[in-house]
Structure 1
Amino acid sequence: MSDDPKTLVSTDWLAAHLKDPDLRILDASWYIPGTGRDARAEYEAAHIPGARFFDIDEISDARSDMAHMAPPPEKFMSRMRAMGVGDGHQVVVYDGHGMLSAPRVWWTFRLMGHRDVAVLDGGFPKWQAEDRVVEDLPPVIKDRHLTARFQNNLVRDVTQVSRASKLGSPQIVDARTAARFRGDAPEPREGLRAGHIPGSRNVPYDTLLNEDKTMKSPDETRAIFAAAGVDLSQPIITSCGSGITAAVLALALERMGHDSWSLYDGSWAEWGMSPMVPVATGDA
């Protein structure tokens, strides 16, 4: 792969830059409740040297009754300053799954106006498989001011998505499994209807990944979107279960050079719960 510090970097790239003074590494591991994995405990046991733990559930909008909605800029700035992440830093985000939740944090930085942020391709599993150095020490942190410039164009709410569903534009692309998209499989969260947003297309996030959880090439991902009926010349809204894997699609789109995308933050956790919006079942 070709390394791009604004989207995706390899383990080789990170190893070569590990001691750069303006590099900040974030462990953004997050697991669906009930999987038996504790992201913070795993971080404390072993992480890439210097990595800080980014708690997706805590660095969120506490005013919302939905999980891990994007934080207000003021909260984001405060949390990043306390973590020693600030203006002028190159940020690299990874997760313990390989490629699951790290793109969500990449998107959050982009939402706050920061472009010098990349996801580690293959994440912590690839780093460990290559027998690279890890540590269990907490990082030494020095406060660093971070400026947030909220980018409204990168996020969409239920009203905007409902309008897109009715008008057919922007296109809505769902990152959930095909079975959940069709409504054949139950949702992991209680109280949600099964199915998908009317008019949306389905690109399961893991179809964009290789076996080692690295992202497929831009040409391969472009073909996958096209095969799902997505017109890559038009704007796209990405969606998923709760706004996590929708960011995998957003990262793939950005890497392909598609710069007219946004993410539905509430995703199916919001849409599937609301009796005010329609649900479709079956294939797109």
Structure 2
Amino acid sequence: MKLKTLAVLAAFASGLTLSTAAYALPAVLQQSEGLGAYISLDQTKSLGDNVVLLDFRTAERYAAGHIPGAINIPREFIETPDVDGVIGETKSYEELEPILASYGLSYDQTIVVYGEFEDDALRPDSGRFAGKIYVSLDQAGFPNVHILDGGINAWDGELSTEATVLPASDLKLTATKPYIVQKDYVLAALGRENTFVLDARGTAGYERGHIPGSLNVPIGLFSNANELHAEVDGLLAKLKELGVGPEAEIITTCGWGWAASDLLAILRDLGYSNLKLYDGAWTDWVQDPNLPKAGTDFPA
């Protein structure tokens, strides 16, 4: 896989006509040194040795056409199924370790995850919201994980229907850095000085019901859930309006944890470092009758 991926990227760099302008990172992210969570197609093709392209779409979508050399780990193997109405939570380290090892992942790899723009973004098998796969691997201890901005839609070469499978690795998740939190952590954080709970859902969903004290920072301010906007001025303006400084503790949330992960990834690229993800999000919170709720569906 290593040589195959490098050959693909080399051909990609030298022989293909790329529409990179359409998928260039926002200017504010281009000013950063090194690689961020989100990377462009140009940055992807310039990566060095031991690159793994990880396509997290369904097996059917992968088989129909994928970036040459990419492996396929459908998100269902990284996230939990529907558990009492809560879907898409990152599996425990104990569950993830043998799964990721069986797909050949290891800490020494540079991993670039990518999905796909789909009109139906809220299906459990959606190819959007690559930030969630990024968070799952990053907090599991992988030191070099990135998101290909634009996903497979950014690729301007031919797609492949030839599956790439890596030999199993001896991966042990010994460098985990947990920042996924549960509802008790969020409840204790409400009202804490310089701590912000940011809800990445659209305004309509947020207004119907949300965690009291949380603030709405819709994903639409910076992304279509697959590709970052050309500029993220709306996000920057909202953060400034809310008084969210780079030294703040931020807990991101949404409906299912997906949009919240995309928000967490771009906040990291913008220089925020004290970041947490409430993975269960509103679908978890709303089911607990003992937790406070706000919104039009929950009148005081």
Same fold (TM over 0.5): yes
Q: For residues 140 and 256 of structure 2, what CA distance do their matches in structure 1 show? A: 19
Alignment match of 2:201 (pick from 176, 181, 199): 176
Q: Which amino acid aligns with 2:43?
A: W
2:162 to 137, 140, 143: 137
Contact residue 239 and residue 264 of structure 1 kept, 8 A = yes
Name the SS of the counterpart of 1:222 in structure 2. helix
Match in the other structure for 1:47: 66
- Whether 2:294 is the aligned partner of 1:277: answer no
| Residues in 2 aligned to 1:108 and 1:47: alpha-carbon distance in whole angstroms | 22
Structure 2 counterpart of 1:238, one-letter code: T
Check if 1:157 corresponds to 2:182: yes
> Which of 197, 203, 207 is the aligned partner of 2:211?
197
| Conservation of the 8 A alpha-carbon contact between 1:51 and 1:139 | yes
- AA paired with 1:262? K
- Say if 2:77 is the partner of 1:77: no
Residue among 264, 279, 283 paired with 1:265? 279
Displacement of 1:210: 7.1
**1:16-68: CA deviation from partner (whole Å, max 9, x where unpaired):** 44xx5500011123xxxxxxxxx331111011112122222232357954322
After TM superposition, list the pairs within 5 Å mapping 1:1-284 onto structure 2: 1=25, 2=30, 4-17=34-47, 21-29=49-57, 39-61=58-80, 65=84, 66-97=86-117, 100-127=128-155, 131-148=156-173, 149-152=175-178, 154-167=179-192, 170-183=195-208, 195-209=209-223, 213-215=227-229, 221-281=235-295
* TM-superposed deviation, 1:83: 1.2
Shift of 1:200: 0.4
Any conservation in 1 of the 2:129–2:226 contact (CA below 8 Å)?
no
- Do 2:130 and 2:226's aligned partners in 1 also have CA atoms closer than 8 Å? no
Q: Which whole-Å CA distance do the structure 1 matches of 2:112 and 2:132 have between them? A: 12
Matched residue count:
256
Extract unaligned runs of 5+ from structure 1.
30-38, 184-194
Deviates most, 63-72 or 211-220: 211-220
TM-superposed deviation, 1:208: 0.9
Q: Aligned equivalents of 2:69 and 2:210: distance in 1?
A: 41
User: How far 1:169 sits from its partner (Å)?
Assistant: 5.3
CA distance in 2, matches of 1:47, 1:144: 23
For structure 2, list consecutive stretches of 5 or more residues without a partner in the other structure: 1-24, 119-126
The TM-score, its normalising length taken from structure 2, stands at 0.77
Q: Which amino acid aligns with 2:261?
A: A
* Letter aligned with residue 123 of structure 1: G
The Cα RMSD (Å) is 2.6
What is the CA–CA distance in structure 1 between the aligned matches of 2:282 and 2:141, rounded to whole Å?
Answer: 26
State whether residues 247 and 273 of structure 2, in contact with CA within 8 Å, keep that contact through their aligned partners in structure 1.
no
Identity over aligned pairs, percent:
27
Q: Separation in 2 of the partners of 1:88 and 1:265?
A: 27
Paired position in structure 2 for 1:36: none
- Give the match's secondary structure for 2:45: helix
